[in-house]
Amino acid sequence: EADIYQTPRYLVIGTGKKITLECSQTMGHDKMYWYQQDPGMELHLIHYSYGVNSTEKGDLSSESTVSRIRTEHFPLTLESARPSHTSQYLCASSEDRGGLHGYTFGSGTRLTVV
Amino acid sequence: GESVGLHLPTLSVQEGDNSIINCAYSNSASDYFIWYKQESGKGPQFIIDIRSNMDKRQGQRVTVLLNKTVKHLSLQIAATQPGDSAVYFCAGNNDMRFGAGTRLTVKP
């Protein structure tokens, strides 16, 4: 079983609210990632981190921020939620060089902004 | 670039038949290539990987073939079952971006 956890599993929130999606892993992986995925669509990389105090923007990151204060924790924050943010958000981690088994994904947070 | 693209977006097979899912990659720097399975409402899960210096690897009911000359991967699923219905992605272990995937539908 994957040792990467995302909370909440589902979230319905009003427009303009600030939200933080949590992601934690217990595998000691250095690299962590956030992806956004609409139903039936590809994964879009929005942020990634190579380790503590390292964060980089991906392809769709202009409206969210991340932090990496601890190895195991990589939260994603939306300062002001909009209906266009409605999507599934997937967190993943990997060993330093992608590792033998590549990426380990969490179960995702399905966000609905009304 | 780091893109990985798939040849077919959807594949429909009859239960019990064999399935073949194809994938093209552009990043040759990976040490491994990996197939993931994503069931509805879940995150992608590791299925099988293959080292870049191999051309074939077999698992339980699955076989992955790697052709580095043409930068092509394929995933073969034997005796496809309804539980195999999912979206399948491939990626190199150094890739951070994934293609759209192939949606496999198994008809009973």
CA pair distance B48, B66, nearest whole angstrom: 12
Mean pLDDT of A58-69: 87
How confident is the model at residue A100, as a pLDDT? 55
pLDDT tier, B24 (very low <50, low <70, confident <90, very high otherwise): confident
| Chain Cα centroid distance, residue B103 | 11
* Proportion of chain B in helix, strand, coil states, percent, rounded to 5: 5, 55, 45
Instruction: Name the residue facing B98 among A43, A94, A98 (closest C-beta).
Output: A43
- Chain A residues with CB inside 8 Å of B101's CB? 42
Average pLDDT, whole number, for chain B? 87
Tell me the Cα Rg of chain A.
13
Is it the case that residue B7 has pLDDT exceeding 50? no
Q: How far is B97 from chain A (nearest CA, A)?
A: 6
B65 in helix, strand or coil? strand
How confident is the model at residue B105, as a pLDDT? 96
Which residue of B30, B39, B93, B94 is the best one to mutate when testing the A interface, meaning the one whose CB has the most A CBs within 10 A?
B93
Mean pLDDT of B37-48: 91
Half-sphere exposure of B30 (CA within 13 A, CB side): 32
How confident is the model at residue B2, as a pLDDT? 37
How confident is the model at residue B1, as a pLDDT? 33
CA pair distance B105, B50, nearest whole angstrom: 24
